[in-house]
């Protein structure tokens, strides 16, 4: 079939729209940009240019995957985080922009210092790699209970040549002893088990449940991280933790109870407290 870019993108977007995918136009443009290896702008400027049939069939294949609600990041095996391209797949959570705010805040606080950190639930490695990039004198350990997530993190750490400043371990935080850190960071699973079914299809169907489900009140892992960090943090060490909507009051109460002093809270674009940075007294 003969077709130009405009028609191709329109077809794709209509197929996605039929599946109630809100970002149908953008997604269709992104898929075209990926398939033709050209920027979206370039394609839109040359929208009357005719396209080849083998590329049309590759485009259609990717549209089919998106129609089944597979996230764009998994279709492209890539997601930008902290201005770098992370290789990802469904073995690890897709890095989120909110998490960049946590990286930014801890990097600012620890600027120019030599420090060690532990990333609990390293996932794709996005937090660990970004802290290492930003802080040239830092050293990090990444833990994950999922052996498949560790493989994704490993791939990224090697790609970015950060292996000399980082160690990855397939282990639970409970079974981790013997070291003390200046900083513990974590973006733990914090969705209530009963809310998982309310998540958008993209997330619910494709992202690892282990990376999302925080138990009955969503606080299971957050609590563990707060308790356990009392023995893995040095005195005056920092704990940076990402939390879910409506969890701030409970989490801040627990932190105070356990001798942490809240230093900074960060709100996301919707004004929910998304990250708490506290100091262990
Ligand atoms: N640390 C990873 C991230 O922030 C994974 C987090 C998780 O799996 N809950 O994306």
Distance, CA of 101 to CA of 183 (rounded, Å): 16
**Whether residue 92 sits in one domain with residue 51:** no
In this predicted structure, the answer to whether residue 162 has a pLDDT above a threshold of 80 is: yes
The answer to whether residues 232 and 134 belong to one domain is yes
**137 shares its domain with 263:** yes
State which residues form the domain around 62: 5-68
* Domain end residue (candidates: 23, 43, 68): 68
pTM: 0.96
Does residue 266 have a pLDDT over 90? yes
Sign of CA dihedral 85, 87, 89, 92: negative
99 and 31, same domain (yes or no)? no
List residues near ligand 1 (CB under 6 A).
Answer: 93, 95, 99, 121-124, 126-127, 187-189, 211
Whether residue 160 sits in one domain with residue 34: no
Kindly report the CATH number assigned to the domain that includes residue 89: 3.40.50.150
The answer on 64 and 148 residing in a single domain is no
Query: Would you state the pLDDT for residue 268?
Result: 87
Distances (CA, A) of 175 to 120, 167, 169, 256: 12, 16, 11, 25
Sign of CA dihedral 57, 59, 60, 66: positive
Last residue of a domain, one of 20, 39, 68: 68
pLDDT digits (tens, 9 = 90+) for 94-145: 999 999 999 999 999 999 999 999 999 999 999 999 999 999 999 999 999 9
Q: Are residues 221 and 262 in the same domain?
A: yes
62 CA to centre of own chain: 22
Say how many domains are in the chain: 2
Same domain, 33 and 103: no
Token readout for 105 is 């805040």
In this model, does residue 92 exceed pLDDT 80?
yes
* Bridge partners (DSSP) listed for residue 78: 87
Give mean pLDDT, residues 81-91. Answer: 97
- 86, 187, 219: residue to mutate for ligand 1 pocket, most atoms within 8 A of CB: 187
The answer on 274 and 247 residing in a single domain is yes
Are residue 269 and residue 206 in the same domain, yes or no?
yes
pLDDT at 254: 97
């Amino acid at each position: 079939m003969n077709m130009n870019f405009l028609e191709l993108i329109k077809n794709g977007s209509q197929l996605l729209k039929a599946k109630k995918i809100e970002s149908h136009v953008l997604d269709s443009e992104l898929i075209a940009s990926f398939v033709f290896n050209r920027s979206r702008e370039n394609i839109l400027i040359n929208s009357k240019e005719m396209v080849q049939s083998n590329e049309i069939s590759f485009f259609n294949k990717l549209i089919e995957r998106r129609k089944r609600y597979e996230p764009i990041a998994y279709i492209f095996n890539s997601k930008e985080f902290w201005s770098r391209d992370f290789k990802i797949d469904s073995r690890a959570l897709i890095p989120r922009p909110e998490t960049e705010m946590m990286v930014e805040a801890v990097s600012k606080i620890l600027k120019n210092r030599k420090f060690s950190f532990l990333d609990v639930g390293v996932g794709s490695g996005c937090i660990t790699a970004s802290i290492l990039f930003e802080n040239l004198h830092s050293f990090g350990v990444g833990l994950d209970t999922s052996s498949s997530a560790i493989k994704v993190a490993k791939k990224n750490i090697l790609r970015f040549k950060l292996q000399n400043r980082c160690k990855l371990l397939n282990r639970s935080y409970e079974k981790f002893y013997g070291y003390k850190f200046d900083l513990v960071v974590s973006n733990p699973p914090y969705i209530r088990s009963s809310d998982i079914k309310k998540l958008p299809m993209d997330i619910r169907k494709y992202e690892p449940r282990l990376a999302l489900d925080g138990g009955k009140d969503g606080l299971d892992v957050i609590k563990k991280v707060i308790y356990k960090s009392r023995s893995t943090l040095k005195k005056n060490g920092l704990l940076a933790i990402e939390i879910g909507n409506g969890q701030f009051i409970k989490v801040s109460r627990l932190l105070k109870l356990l001798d942490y002093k809240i230093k900074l809270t960060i709100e996301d674009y919707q004004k929910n407290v998304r990250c708490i940075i506290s100091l262990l007294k």
